[in-house]
Amino acid sequence: MSVLSRVQSMASTILITPKGGLLSNAVHLPYRNNLFLHSPTFRSFSLSSSPISPEVCQVTQATKNEVDVLLKGVSDRNLIEQIKHIIDMANRASLRREVLHTDFLTPPVLNEAMVALNKLADVNAIPNGGYLEAERCRLSVGHPEVLRSVSDTVAALSITGNFGYQPPTHGDFLGSILGTGIAREKLGDILLQACYGEKGAQVLIVPELVDYMMSSLDKVGKVFVSCTLIPLEELEYEPPRIKTLKTVESSLRVDAIASAGFKISRSKFADLISKGDVRINWNTVTKNGATLKTGDIVSVSGSGRLKISEIVTTKKGKYAVELIRYL
């Protein structure tokens, strides 16, 4: 009998624990100076307030062993820990026949989590980022009998203001929102309106923080703004403008390739890394010697991002790299 089957066979025993009850999934906004907004992405749910029996412990340990098999091939330690939380959440949701939701996940976490969850027969997983091309998505998990569609897990806000001839960037909008105390994982994509945001932006967010953001965000940069709740159908998504370029380098180090893609010196790029302004696949880079591979996305605070489209080894042993720069 599989681990998941044994877990399900215990469901009735676990769920009828006297006076157990599940922790409430309701969210209450706290005072401004003690925000819950930076709480961990994944909430902890206890199965029971009663002591946990040895039988339950054995199943928990077995589940961990099964998770290791599901994550075989994933090397990033931080990525592994995040996906383990999602798998644990999915198993709990399936066991209780309820639906649980993550916060917004980055594409690498979402992709690897979907691969792992698709191997579990009694777990359904549905991503939702508010629109079809969304990068950052929330993931709803539960038993297939319960989770068949997802709604109301993402809300959209329109931010408008008199931006004039100095429209704010994506980073300006993000920085101002984070300045209110809202954690990044509570936010989805930020869609600039018009080419450079001169008409404002549309922001995806967890529904429980809509009222808070509408009352807290009053400025982006030096411009006063207003926030309005809009239907998801009114989102205006435009594919990003891109530019393709090529470079030939002796190594696949991030400081060599990305400095060429962003057209800045390697010494300046090294400074950006030391400041924590460089990320590979949404993870902060700490070493200049980090290597890149096809499909990696490198982002630099205030400068945008680029994607490693193709890597070809030349006859002289160097690397011809095709880059896609997002403008």
Averaged pLDDT for residues 252-280: 94
State the chain's mean pLDDT as an integer.
80
pLDDT one-digit tens code per residue, 153-181: 999 999 999 887 778 888 899 999 999 99
Give the pLDDT band of residue 103 (cuts 50, 70, 90).
Answer: very high
Give the integer Cα–Cα distance in Å for 218 and 230.
18
Instruction: Look at the block and give the residue holding tokens 């589940």.
Output: 63
Q: What is the DSSP string of 7-66?
A: HHHTHHHHHT-TT--PPP-------GGG-GGGS-SS----S-SSPPPHHHHHHHHHHHHH
| Dihedral class, residue 295 (left if φ above 0, else alpha if ψ from -120 to 50, else beta) | left
The predicted structure's pLDDT at residue 195: 60
Q: Under a CB-based contact definition with an 8 Å cutoff, are residues 14 and 6 in contact?
A: no
pLDDT class for 75, splitting at 50, 70, 90?
low
CB-based contacts of 161, cutoff 8 Å, min separation 6: 200, 220, 223, 224, 225, 226
The mean pLDDT value for 41-67 works out to 41
Phi then psi for 105, rounded to 5 degrees?
-110, 150
**Which pLDDT score is estimated for 169?**
84
pLDDT of 44 strictly over 50: no
Is 9's pLDDT higher than 80? no
101 versus 64: which is more confidently predicted? 101
Least confident window among 44-58, 170-184, 215-229: 44-58
Residue 139: predicted pLDDT: 97
pLDDT tier at 72, thresholds 50, 70, 90: confident
Angle, alpha carbons 160-30-25 (nearest 5°): 100
Number of continuous H segments (helices) and E segments (strands) in the chain:
9, 14
Residue 250 CA to residue 229 CA, distance in Å, equals 50
Q: Are 139 and 42 in contact (CB under 8 A)?
A: no
Q: What proportion of the chain, given as a percentage, has pLDDT over 70?
A: 78
Q: Which domains does the chain have, with CATH numbers?
A: 3-124 (no CATH), 155-234 (3.30.70.330), 242-326 (3.10.290.10)
Per-residue pLDDT, 14: 32
CB half-sphere exposure, 229, CA atoms < 13 A? 13
Cβ proximity of 83 and 109 under 8 Å: yes
94 and 143 in contact (C-beta within 8 Å)?
yes
* CA–CA gap between residue 204 and residue 173 (Å, rounded): 12
What does the pLDDT read at residue 316? Answer: 94
The answer to whether residue 232 scores a pLDDT higher than 90 is yes
- Kindly state the average pLDDT of the residues 305-326: 95
Question: Which of 73-77, 147-151, 205-209 is predicted most confidently?
Answer: 205-209
Residue 183 predicted with pLDDT over 50:
yes
| Confidence check: pLDDT of 193 > 60 | yes
- The beta-strand segments (E) located in the chain are 100-105, 124-128, 137-142, 155-161, 187-192, 201-205, 219-220, 223-230, 242-249, 278-280, 283-284, 297-300, 304-313, 319-326
- Residues 235-245, mean pLDDT to the nearest whole number: 88
- Is the pLDDT at 119 greater than 70? The verdict is yes
Mean pLDDT, range 4-9, rounded to an integer: 42
Higher model confidence: residue 292 or residue 31?
292
pLDDT digits (tens, 9 = 90+) for 130-143: 999 999 999 999 99
Arithmetic mean of pLDDT, 1-25: 38
CA distance 67 to 112: 13
**What pLDDT score does 34 carry?**
36
Rounded to two decimals, the pTM is 0.68
Looking at residue 65, its pLDDT comes to 66
What distance in Å separates the CA atoms of residue 194 and residue 200, rounded to the nearest whole number? 8
